C-alpha cells in the first residue's frame, strides 16, 4: 500500500534528502571484486578530475549528467558499474590562488620558503579544496565516493615517480634547451595550449645596424632591421636576409655592429626570412624567439639569454641590466633615437601571446627543461586509434586526434612551480651528473658524492593526470595478490570529456596507457596486447552549453548560467532533463530556461499521476482488491484478451523501452529523453489514465455505494486494470530513473510504502523490451480510436460546444477500415467495443450510425478521421431577444456612419479640395461599412421570428 505524497511536487523538499541518503548508504560503492565473485561485465568511467580550485559550471553539469545517465543505466542493466571521482591538484591554478591569499596578507611564497608554502597549499586543500565534489554530491552523481582520489595522493604519486623513472631508464626522458612560453608573472614555462593569442596594437621599430668594412670599422653604410621587440636586441647573434633579396646581395658575408651593445654579428642568409616583412632584414635572437631558435640551430649560432625569470634584463644587457622588459624597451628606443640609429617607428598590429591563467604577456625564453621523447609513445597511441581499439564519438574527432599526433613534438614536462610532483632527479655538484631514482638517494649514483640536490622543478599537471587510468587501479603495484581492481576495471569503458582537453589529456592518457599497461600481464598470465592496453574503449566528446541565443557563455557578456542557482529554482531533475533532452553527439546546447520550466511541469505531471494512482490503489483495497506484488519490478505483461487500453499501454511501454535502450547505446540522450517524455505525458497520462479511470469505475460515494453482487461482477476486470496500471507505472519510474533520479526515487519509495525490494530504485533492473509484448494490432487500433476522439474534440471546439455539455456523435457506417500493416477490420466493431471510452473522452451522449442515403445524412457536416467520417449536431443556444437588440443597435450605428461618409463623398467642394489619398480612404471606409451593415442585416433576418 503506497503512502501519501505531499499535494505539491517540491524538488527542494526531496532532493537534499536523497542526495545525502545515496552517499551515506554508499549505494554506488563498487568494492574490489572478490576472487570467487561471479564473472560480470564492467562499466567503468573516470570522472575527468576537476581542478581542486574549481566550481561547478554548466559544462560540468552537462558532462556529469551524461555520465550519470549512462552509469545509472548500465548499472540497472546489470553491469558492474563504477564511476570514479577525484580532483586534480592543478599545479599552476592552485599555486596562483594560494599566492593571492598570501599577497592579501602582505607575504610572498619566497618569504615563506618552499616547504612552508607547500604545507600552506595542503592546508588550503584540506580546509576548502574540492568544493566542487560537494556540489556533485548535491546533484546526486552516482559515483563511488569510497574511491575518491586526489592526484597528489601517496599511491598516485608512487605511480608518477615510477613512470618518470621508467621513462628515464628507457631513454625517453631527457633534459634540453628549448624555447618555452614563459610567464614572467607565474615564473614558469607554460604549454602552447595555455597561451592565448590576442591582437594587440604595437609598433614596428626600424633600427639601423652599422655595416663593418673588412678592417672591422664602420663603413658608413647601415642595414635597417625591423623588429617588434627591440628590448631583446642584446640577445642578437646575427641579422638574417633572404638569400635572393636583391637589395642585400652586396652585404652577403659582411659583419655588423650591434647597436647599443657593440658586439660584432654576421649577416646570414636564410630562406625563412620574408622579403615583404618590414625591411626584409630581421635580427636573430635565438634565446627569445622560437623561429630565431630554429635559425640559430641551422646556422650553428650561439644563444644568449638576456632576461631573467621575472622578465628583467640580466647582465648580458649591459647598461640595461636590471630593467623590466618594457622599461628597457623604452630606454633602448630613446637611446637608439639619440644615436641616430632609429630609422622609423611604424604602427603595427600583431598577435601577442598571453598567459591563460594570469593574462601576462608571455615571453619566449630559452631555458633548460625536462622532456618526454614522444616516439615511440605517440606511434603506439596512434595505432590504438587506427585499429579502433579506442573509438571516438563524434567520429570527426578521430581526424583531429591524428592531425595532432602527426605533428607532435617532444613534450616539455617540467614546470617551475612549487606545487606539484617534484621531479625525482638529483644534481651532483661534484661530477655534474644526474641521479634519477625511485627512492630519494643520499649520494650521487655516478661518483658517490653526497653533494647532491634535488631538481627544483615539478612535473606538468598533465603528466600525473595522464596516468590516472592506470594509477587509480593500483599500477605500478599490480601484483598477483593485488590485481583484482586492475583486472575488473581496466581498460575503462568510456571517457566523457570536452573537446578542449582532447590533446592535453585524452591523447596523453592513450600514450601512457598503451605504454605502461602493456607491461601488466593479462589475468591468465598472457602478454597484454595493444587492444587491452588502451586506457578506455570509447571516448565521447560532449558539446558546449550555450545561452538561449546560442551565444557562448562568458563572464564579460554576463550570460553565464550558474547550475546551482538554476537547480535551486527548478530542481535538479528538471535541469538534468533539459540538458539530456538536447544532448546528442556534436550538437551544442542552447540552454533555455523556458524548457526547464516545461520539464518542471513534466515532473509535476508525474507527481500528480502518482497521487491519482495511489488514491485508486487505496480505493481498491477498501473493496478487497490488491495489486499482485509479483507483477512489479520486471516488465509489465498483459493477457491476450485484456481490454484494448491495457494491451496498448503495455505494447507502448515495451516499444518505448526498446527505443530508449537503443538511443542510449548511441549516446542519443535527446532521443531517449524525448521518447520517455512522450510516453509518460502523452500515452500514459493523457490517454491511458483517462481510460483506466472508466475501467476501475470505483463508486464515488465510497465502497458501500455498490452492492456485493455489483462488486463481484467487476472484481476481476478491476483487479486486472489496477495491476496493469501499477506495474506499468512502476516500470516507467525505472525507465525514467537515470534521467530524473530524485523524483523517481521519492515516488518509488512511496509506492512500496518504504517496504521496497531494494535500497534504491537505482539498484533495480532497467526495463528491457520484450518484443512478444509489443502488440502491434493493439497499437494500430489505438491509433484509430485516439484519432477519432481527437477529431471529435476539435469538432466540438469549432462548434463552441461548452466544455461540460455532452453531444450526439454521428458516424458513417463505412464497414471496414484498413489496418496499418494488418487485415481490414470492422470500424463498427472497434467503435462498439470502445463505446464507453469514446463517450467519456469525447463527451458524447450517444453514438449514432448513419448510412449514406439515410435521412439526415445530407444535413450533417462530415469530417473525416482515419476510422470513419464523423459529425456532431449542435446548435448554439442563444438569447434571441438580446441578440435582436444588439444587432438592431449595431445596424443603426453602421447606417449613421455610412450616411456621413456618403455625405462627404457627395460634396463637390470637399472633393475638389481634398487630397486624393484622403478621398480614396473615405471610399474604402464607406465600402467596408456597407459590407458590415449587410452582414448584420442578414444575421438579424436569420433570427427566429417571434
Ligand atoms: Zn601567468
Ligand atoms: Zn657525482
Residues 282, 241: Cα–Cα separation, whole Å: 7
Ligand 1 centroid to Cα of residue 665, in Å, is 43
Task: Give, as residue ranges, everything with CB less than 5 Å from ion ligand 2.
Answer: 428, 430-431, 444, 446-447, 449
Q: Enter the DSSP assignment of 17.
A: H
439 membership: H or E segment, kind and range = none
Q: Enter the DSSP assignment of 291.
A: H
Ligand 1 centroid to Cα of residue 364, in Å, is 13
Cell 625564453 maps to which residue? 365
How are beta strands 238-241 and 264-269 bridged, if at all?
parallel
111, HSE (Cβ side, Cα atoms, 13 Å): 7
Ligand 1 centroid to Cα of residue 91, in Å, is 12
Ligand 1 centroid to Cα of residue 93, in Å, is 9
Neighbour-count burial of 540, counting CB atoms closer than 10 A to its CB (0-12 exposed, 13-18 middle, 19+ buried): buried
Ligand nearest to the CA of 428: 2
Ligand nearest to the CA of 359: 1
Neighbour-count burial of 625, counting CB atoms closer than 10 A to its CB (0-12 exposed, 13-18 middle, 19+ buried): buried
Ligand nearest to the CA of 99: 1
Ligand nearest to the CA of 196: 1
Q: Give me 467's grid cell.
A: 596516468
Whole-number pLDDT of residue 861 = 82
98, HSE (Cβ side, Cα atoms, 13 Å): 28
Query: How crowded is residue 219: how many other Cβ atoms within 10 Å of its Cβ?
Result: 16
Ligand nearest to the CA of 415: 1
Query: How many Å is the maximal CA-CA distance in the chain?
Result: 131
Ligand 1 centroid to Cα of residue 805, in Å, is 75
Ligand nearest to the CA of 446: 2
Whole-number pLDDT of residue 36 = 83
Taking each helix axis as running N to C, give the angle between helix 154-169 and helix 508-516, from 0 to 180 degrees, rounded to the nearest 10.
80
The torsion angles phi and psi of 290, rounded to 5 degrees, stand at: -65, -35
Q: What is the 3-state secondary structure (H, E, C) of 875-913?
A: CCCCCHHHHHHHHHHHHHHHHHHHHHHHHHHCCHHHHHH
Ligand nearest to the CA of 445: 2
Ligand 2 centroid to Cα of residue 438, in Å, is 18
Whole-number pLDDT of residue 398 = 95
Ligand nearest to the CA of 453: 2
Ligand 2 centroid to Cα of residue 441, in Å, is 12
Ligand 1 centroid to Cα of residue 515, in Å, is 32
Ligand 2 centroid to Cα of residue 444, in Å, is 5
Whole-number pLDDT of residue 315 = 93
Ligand 1 centroid to Cα of residue 301, in Å, is 30
- Left, alpha or beta for 633 (phi > 0: left; psi -120 to 50: alpha)? left
Ligand 1 centroid to Cα of residue 355, in Å, is 5
Ligand nearest to the CA of 447: 2
Ligand 2 centroid to Cα of residue 440, in Å, is 15
**For residues 906 and 897, is the Cβ–Cβ distance under 8 A?**
no
Ligand nearest to the CA of 430: 2
Residues 647, 899: Cα–Cα separation, whole Å: 69
Ligand 2 centroid to Cα of residue 433, in Å, is 6
Task: Give, as residue ranges, everything with CB less than 5 Å from ion ligand 1.
Answer: 183, 185-186, 355, 357-358, 360
- pTM, two decimal places: 0.82
**For residues 82 and 144, is the Cβ–Cβ distance under 8 A?**
yes
Ligand nearest to the CA of 449: 2
Ligand 2 centroid to Cα of residue 426, in Å, is 9
Ligand 2 centroid to Cα of residue 166, in Å, is 21
Neighbour-count burial of 527, counting CB atoms closer than 10 A to its CB (0-12 exposed, 13-18 middle, 19+ buried): exposed
What would the DSSP string read from start to end of 82-114?
Answer: EEE-EEB--HHHHHHHHHHHHHHTT--HHHH-H
Q: Which of 575, 578, 606, 581 lies closest to 730, judged by CA?
A: 606
Ligand 2 centroid to Cα of residue 442, in Å, is 11
Q: Enter the DSSP assignment of 476.
A: T
Ligand 2 centroid to Cα of residue 194, in Å, is 36
Ligand 2 centroid to Cα of residue 177, in Å, is 22
Ligand 1 centroid to Cα of residue 111, in Å, is 20
Ligand 2 centroid to Cα of residue 421, in Å, is 24
Query: How crowded is residue 396: how many other Cβ atoms within 10 Å of its Cβ?
Result: 12
- CB environment 562-579: b (16+ within 10 A), e (fewer): ebbebbeebbbbbbbbbb
Residues 386, 127: Cα–Cα separation, whole Å: 45
Ligand nearest to the CA of 427: 2
Ligand nearest to the CA of 92: 1
Ligand nearest to the CA of 354: 1
- pLDDT averaged per 10 residues, the chain (length 946): 85 94 96 87 95 88 96 97 94 87 90 94 88 90 95 95 97 91 87 83 94 91 94 95 94 94 94 91 93 90 92 93 95 95 92 88 90 95 97 94 89 91 96 96 96 95 96 94 93 93 92 96 94 97 89 85 92 96 91 94 96 91 86 90 94 97 97 97 94 84 76 86 95 98 97 91 96 90 92 88 88 71 76 91 90 79 84 77 88 92 87 86 90 88 75
Q: Give me 194's grid cell.
A: 595555455
Please tell me the chain's helix, strand, coil percentages from 3-state DSSP, rounded to the nearest 5: 45, 20, 35
Ligand 2 centroid to Cα of residue 436, in Å, is 12
C-alpha distances out from residue 616 to 691, 700, 841, Å: 14, 11, 19
Ligand 2 centroid to Cα of residue 85, in Å, is 43
Residues 6+ apart with CB under 8 A from 444: 426, 428, 430, 431, 433, 435, 450, 451, 452
Ligand 2 centroid to Cα of residue 175, in Å, is 17
Ligand nearest to the CA of 441: 2
Ligand 1 centroid to Cα of residue 245, in Å, is 40
942, HSE (Cβ side, Cα atoms, 13 Å): 9
Ligand 2 centroid to Cα of residue 374, in Å, is 28
Amino acid at each position: 500500500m503506497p503512502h501519501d505524497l505531499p499535494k505539491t511536487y517540491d524538488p527542494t523538499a526531496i532532493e537534499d534528502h536523497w542526495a545525502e541518503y545515496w552517499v551515506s548508504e554508499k549505494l554506488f560503492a563498487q568494492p574490489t571484486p572478490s576472487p570467487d565473485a561471479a564473472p560480470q561485465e564492467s562499466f567503468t568511467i573516470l570522472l575527468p578530475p576537476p581542478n581542486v580550485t574549481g566550481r561547478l559550471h554548466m559544462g560540468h553539469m552537462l558532462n556529469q549528467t551524461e555520465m550519470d545517465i549512462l552509469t545509472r543505466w548500465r548499472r540497472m542493466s546489470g553491469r558492474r558499474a563504477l564511476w570514479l571521482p577525484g580532483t586534480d591538484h592543478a599545479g599552476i591554478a592552485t599555486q596562483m590562488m594560494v599566492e593571492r591569499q598570501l599577497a592579501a596578507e602582505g607575504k610572498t611564497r619566497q618569504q615563506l620558503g618552499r616547504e612552508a608554502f607547500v604545507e600552506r597549499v595542503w592546508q588550503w586543500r584540506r580546509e576548502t579544496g574540492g568544493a566542487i565534489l560537494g556540489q556533485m554530491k548535491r546533484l546526486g552523481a552516482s559515483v563511488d565516493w569510497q574511491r575518491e582520489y586526489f592526484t597528489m595522493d601517496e599511491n598516485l604519486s608512487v605511480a608518477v615517480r615510477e613512470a618518470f623513472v621508467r621513462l628515464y631508464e628507457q631513454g625517453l626522458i631527457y633534459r634540453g634547451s628549448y624555447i618555452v612560453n614563459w610567464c614572467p608573472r607565474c615564473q614558469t614555462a607554460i604549454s602552447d595550449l595555455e597561451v592565448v593569442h590576442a591582437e594587440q596594437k604595437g609598433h614596428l621599430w626600424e633600427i639601423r645596424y652599422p655595416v663593418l668594412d673588412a678592417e672591422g670599422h664602420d663603413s658608413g653604410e647601415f642595414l635597417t632591421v625591423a623588429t617588434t621587440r627591440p628590448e631583446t636586441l642584446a640577445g642578437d647573434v646575427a641579422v638574417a636576409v633572404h638569400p635572393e633579396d636583391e637589395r642585400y646581395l652586396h652585404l652577403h658575408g659582411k659583419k655588423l655592429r650591434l647597436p647599443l651593445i657593440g658586439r660584432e654579428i654576421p649577416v646570414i642568409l636564410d630562406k625563412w626570412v620574408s622579403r615583404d616583412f618590414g625591411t626584409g632584414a630581421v635580427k636573430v635572437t635565438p634565446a627569445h624567439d622560437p623561429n630565431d631558435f630554429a635559425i640559430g640551430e641551422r646556422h650553428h649560432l650561439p644563444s644568449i639569454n638576456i632576461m631573467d625569470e621575472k622578465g628583467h634584463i640580466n647582465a648580458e644587457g649591459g647598461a640595461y641590466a636590471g630593467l623590466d622588459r618594457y622599461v628597457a624597451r623604452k630606454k633602448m628606443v630613446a637611446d637608439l633615437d639619440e644615436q641616430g640609429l632609429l630609422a622609423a617607428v611604424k604602427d603595427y598590429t600583431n598577435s601577442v601571446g598571453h598567459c591563460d591563467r594570469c593574462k601576462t604577456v608571455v615571453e619566449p625564453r630559452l631555458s633548460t627543461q625536462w622532456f618526454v621523447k614522444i616516439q615511440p609513445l605517440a606511434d603506439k597511441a596512434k595505432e590504438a586509434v587506427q585499429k579502433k581499439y579506442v573509438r571516438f564519438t563524434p567520429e570527426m574527432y578521430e581526424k583531429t586526434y591524428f592531425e595532432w599526433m602527426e605533428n607532435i613534438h617532444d613534450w616539455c614536462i617540467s614546470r617551475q612551480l612549487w606545487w606539484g610532483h617534484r621531479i625525482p632527479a638529483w644534481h651532483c655538484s661534484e661530477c655534474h651528473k644526474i641521479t634519477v631514482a625511485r627512492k630519494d638517494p643520499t649520494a650521487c649514483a655516478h661518483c658517490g658524492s653526497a653533494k647532491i640536490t634535488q631538481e627544483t622543478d615539478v612535473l606538468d599537471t598533465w603528466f600525473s593526470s595522464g596516468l590516472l587510468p592506470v594509477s587509480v587501479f593500483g599500477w605500478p603495484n599490480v601484483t598477483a595478490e593485488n590485481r583484482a581492481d586492475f583486472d575488473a576495471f581496466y581498460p575503462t569503458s568510456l571517457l566523457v570529456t570536452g573537446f578542449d582537453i582532447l590533446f592535453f589529456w585524452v591523447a596523453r592518457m592513450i600514450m601512457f596507457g598503451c605504454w605502461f599497461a602493456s607491461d601488466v600481464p593479462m589475468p591468465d598470465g598472457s602478454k597484454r596486447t595493444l587492444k587491452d592496453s588502451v586506457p578506455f574503449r570509447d571516448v565521447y566528446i560532449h558539446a558546449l552549453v550555450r545561452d538561449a541565443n546560442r551565444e557562448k557563455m562568458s563572464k564579460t557578456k554576463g550570460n553565464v548560467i550558474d547550475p546551482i542557482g538554476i537547480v535551486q529554482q527548478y530542481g535538479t531533475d528538471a535541469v538534468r532533463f533539459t540538458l539530456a533532452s538536447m544532448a546528442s553527439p556534436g550538437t551544442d546546447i542552447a540552454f533555455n530556461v523556458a524548457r526547464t520550466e516545461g520539464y518542471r511541469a513534466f515532473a509535476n505531471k508525474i507527481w500528480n499521476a502518482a497521487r491519482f494512482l495511489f488514491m485508486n490503489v487505496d480505493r481498491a483495497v477498501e473493496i478487497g482488491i490488491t495489486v499482485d506484488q509479483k507483477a512489479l519490478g520486471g516488465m509489465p505483461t498483459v493477457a491476450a484478451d485484456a481490454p484494448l487500453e491495457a494491451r496498448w499501454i503495455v505494447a507502448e511501454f515495451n516499444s518505448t523501452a526498446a527505443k530508449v535502450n537503443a538511443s542510449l547505446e548511441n549516446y542519443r540522450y535527446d532521443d531517449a529523453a524525448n521518447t520517455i517524455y512522450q510516453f509518460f505525458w502523452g500515452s500514459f497520462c493523457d490517454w491511458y489514465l483517462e481510460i483506466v479511470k472508466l475501467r476501475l469505475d470505483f463508486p464515488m460515494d465510497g465502497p458501500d455505494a455498490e452492492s456485493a453482487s455489483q462488486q463481484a461482477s467487476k472484481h476481476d476486470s478491476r483487479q486486472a486494470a489496477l495491476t496493469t496500471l501499477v506495474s506499468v507505472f512502476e516500470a516507467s519510474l525505472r525507465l525514467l530513473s537515470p534521467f530524473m533520479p530524485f523524483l523517481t526515487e521519492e515516488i518509488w519509495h512511496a509506492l512500496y510504502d518504504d517496504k521496497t525490494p531494494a535500497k534504491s530504485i537505482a539498484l533495480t533492473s532497467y526495463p528491457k523490451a520484450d518484443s512478444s509484448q509489443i502488440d502491434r494490432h493493439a497499437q494500430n487500433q489505438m491509433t484509430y480510436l485516439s484519432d477519432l476522439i481527437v477529431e471529435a474534440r476539435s469538432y466540438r471546439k469549432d462548434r463552441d460546444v461548452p466544455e461540460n455539455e455532452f453531444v450526439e456523435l454521428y458516424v458513417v457506417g463505412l464497414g471496414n477500415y484498413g489496418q496499418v500493416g494488418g487485415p481490414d477490420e470492422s470500424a463498427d466493431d472497434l467503435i462498439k467495443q470502445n463505446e464507453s471510452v469514446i463517450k467519456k473522452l469525447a463527451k458524447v451522449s450517444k453514438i449514432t450510425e448513419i448510412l449514406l442515403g439515410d435521412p439526415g445524412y445530407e444535413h450533417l457536416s462530415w469530417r473525416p478521421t482515419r476510422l470513419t467520417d464523423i459529425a456532431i449536431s449542435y446548435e448554439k443556444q442563444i438569447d434571441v431577444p438580446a441578440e435582436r437588440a444588439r444587432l438592431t443597435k449595431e445596424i443603426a450605428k453602421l447606417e449613421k456612419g455610412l450616411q456621413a461618409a456618403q455625405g462627404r463623398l457627395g460634396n463637390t467642394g470637399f472633393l475638389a479640395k481634398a487630397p486624393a489619398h484622403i478621398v480614396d480612404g473615405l471610399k474604402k471606409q464607406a465600402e467596408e461599412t456597407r459590407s458590415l451593415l449587410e452582414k448584420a442585416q442578414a444575421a438579424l433576418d436569420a433570427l427566429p421570428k417571434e
